[in-house]
Amino acid sequence: MVRHRRFASVKDLRAVLADTIPSDVYHSCAYYENPDFDMDKKSWIGSDLVFDIDADHIPTTCNKIHDEFRCLKCGFSGRGITPESCPCCEATKFETKIWACNLCIQSAREETAKLMDILENDFGFSQNEIRVFFSGHRGYHVHIESEVVHSLDAMARKEIVDYVTGLGLAILDKEAKEKKSKRRNKASSKFNLHNYGWNRRIKIGMQNFLLDATKEDLKEIGLKNRALLENRDTVIQRAITEGRWESIHGVSNQTWLKLAECIRENQASKIDTVVTTDIHRLIRMNGTLHGKTGLKKIEFPAKNLEDFDPFIGAVAFRRGEVKVLVSDAPEFRLGEQTLGPYKNQTVTLPTAAAIMLICKRRAEVAC
């Protein structure tokens, strides 16, 4: 890892990259008086506000199929999300084999859409201020570079993270609720929602849920209350629109709380919280290749989130073919083509596909 470099121009940077050919390139999200000094002498001026949404942090159903980890100390191995520490020996270093499939990307895209909705509608950033990138692997980066965010310290950024992830809502969290009721010196057991921020989000979420929900949907979230579905329009009108939460026969405060909790869970954006709070964060440089895929980190207009297909738009190598010996690869899509699965076989692949398998250490160039 080569750090603490500064470049006077893009031309200088390009020259160094062409000369050293690093597998990954990052830049700091911070602004410093002296970027090339040691950390404690850099003099921090400010920092962009960055969010990282990665399938690593989203409990998808596909990770059990295509992700594996193995503890480097004791050899314990498993499938799915890599644990923070080994359940056998508590070591924290793992060898991982992870894959990015369409479902990973779709899940990350949904979390990114939730984040952008919060940034626009609750924080008031305009679409022009929100830069969105495909990360080059299986997620998205969202950057806000406006001057208004530069001076936010780590605590302030933690507050933003809490908001985005729906943490510490007075209406739902026991601790926050107790604090509030102590302050007001009365029990705040009555369920109520106002019309701003998360309260508004939960209201809209409840309304949408109630409009479409089946008995099975209710059961899935642990509710048996049929009264919620029997006369949906009345329930929505009286409770959600008029705020008469106690007027629905057979629907208690506890039921509303449970439903609200599910909506919160569903609407919270599963960002990597550590990235956003770090005011010295390094983040992959736009336009460079990801060392695990050979795909580009690439920016696209925020409004195109739904339509941008990373397996087409982020492909860097669009010409030629390479003959490779593949040890093991699931079926995957790159560009317009679906390839694989492969197991211990020599195949001739489009350059981008060959590079992806080589980067993932699942293939070698065949002679």
Of 68 and 129, the one with the shorter C-beta distance to Zn ion is 68
Q: Binding of Zn ion at residue 210 (CB under 5 A)?
A: no
Rounded to 5 degrees, what angle do the CA atoms 152, 156, 159 make?
145
Q: Binding of Zn ion at residue 5 (CB under 5 A)?
A: no
Of 73, 79, 179, 186, the one binding Zn ion (CB under 5 A) is 73
Q: Which stretch binds Zn ion (CB under 5 A): 20-28, 75-83, 159-167, 347-355?
A: 75-83
Of 15, 16, 39, 74, the one binding Zn ion (CB under 5 A) is 74
Rounded to 5 degrees, what angle do the CA atoms 233, 237, 239 make?
115
Of 104, 206, 210, 347, the one binding Zn ion (CB under 5 A) is 104
Q: Binding of Zn ion at residue 108 (CB under 5 A)?
A: no
Question: Is-contact 285 296, C-beta < 8 A?
Answer: no
Query: Minimum CB separation from Zn ion for residue 34, in Å?
Result: 42
The β-bridge relationship of strands 321-329 and 363-365 is antiparallel
**Nearest CA-CA partner of 258 in 296, 219, 286:** 219
**Nearest CA-CA partner of 364 in 351, 346, 350:** 346
Binding mask 41-70 for Zn ion (x = CB under 5 A): ---------------------x--------
Q: Which stretch binds Zn ion (CB under 5 A): 38-46, 99-107, 118-126, 198-206?
A: 99-107
Query: Minimum CB separation from Zn ion for residue 86, in Å?
Result: 3
Q: How many CA atoms lie within 13 A of 151 on its CB side?
A: 2
CA dist., res. 345 & res. 343, Å (int): 6
DSSP state of 295: P
Q: Is 13 helix (H, G, I), strand (E, B) or coil?
A: helix
Question: By the criterion CB under 5 A, which residues form the site for Zn ion?
Answer: 62, 71, 73-74, 76, 86, 88-89, 91, 101, 103-104
